Chain A
Amino acid sequence: MRAGDELEPLRVTPDRYLTVRYAGASGDFNPIHIDEEFARQVGLPGRILHGLYTMAQVARAHTDAGGPASLKRLSVQFRGMGVPEAELVVTGTVREVRDDAVAVVESSCEQDGKRIIRNAEAELRLEP
């Protein structure tokens, strides 16, 4: 991995019931993610994706090549809201490689042309 290399872009379209499955899998049952009526009542367009589900897609784009032990650190900023039934696209670029041991990767996640995760920064452990 070298500075300027790009991650293999990750594309995924969460289906209509994804938020329900993620709520069960993660333990986060906030009704804005699973109850259409409640979400509208609090001024949202409808049920929204869990930010940590979207972050998991960003993480996946980083570990697909090197496996789970390669991800040392990941930080993200959530902006806007992700929704089910629209494609998420995660892209990233290696900013620098330190001592041939750690790659620093900048990435973001877009949906419908909006960056719902931006300024994501990861450190990947490289194979010795």
Chain B
Amino acid sequence: MKTSIYGLLAEFDTPDALLNAVRQARAAGYRRMDAYTPFPVEHLAEELGFHHSRLPLLVLIGGIVGCAGGYFMQYYAAVIDYPWNVGGRPLNSWPAFIPIAFECTILAAALVAVLGMLALNGLPMPHHPLFNQPRFALASRNRFFLCIEAADGHFDREATERFLSGLKATNLSEVSNE
């Protein structure tokens, strides 16, 4: 019975209402919860207790690897594997190898940034219990949602519902796992 519930979904009209709801929920000790908005709302993630992302570091590493790899590829081809006199230039004509090294840097970093973001977000994820709740479709239009998950320690079907309705949610609905 309890297992079939994913969580409770409270619906708000404005980002402010949502923000304030999140604050209270955390004050009430809820942790396993998340907010859903049609556009990025500032401070929301922080209020939910999410602080800094590891993404920038990954991108930096990606960039460095790309740069080194790019240069080495050229060095290997021109100096080690196929050393040949081209226009009387030295085998390792480093100035001519800069542009490609640079492009490789950007390419690697950009790929890491996007793939990293998706990976950390656990995307793609075509199916999610929230999609079982028809009203959730409005999350990509004009409504702001707070979902307290059943997995949360403090979660109690009635108590939580009471708590949420106390937050002036315009609508309150249950999200089932099926």
Asked if A and B are interacting partners, one says no
Residues of A within 8 A of B (CB): none
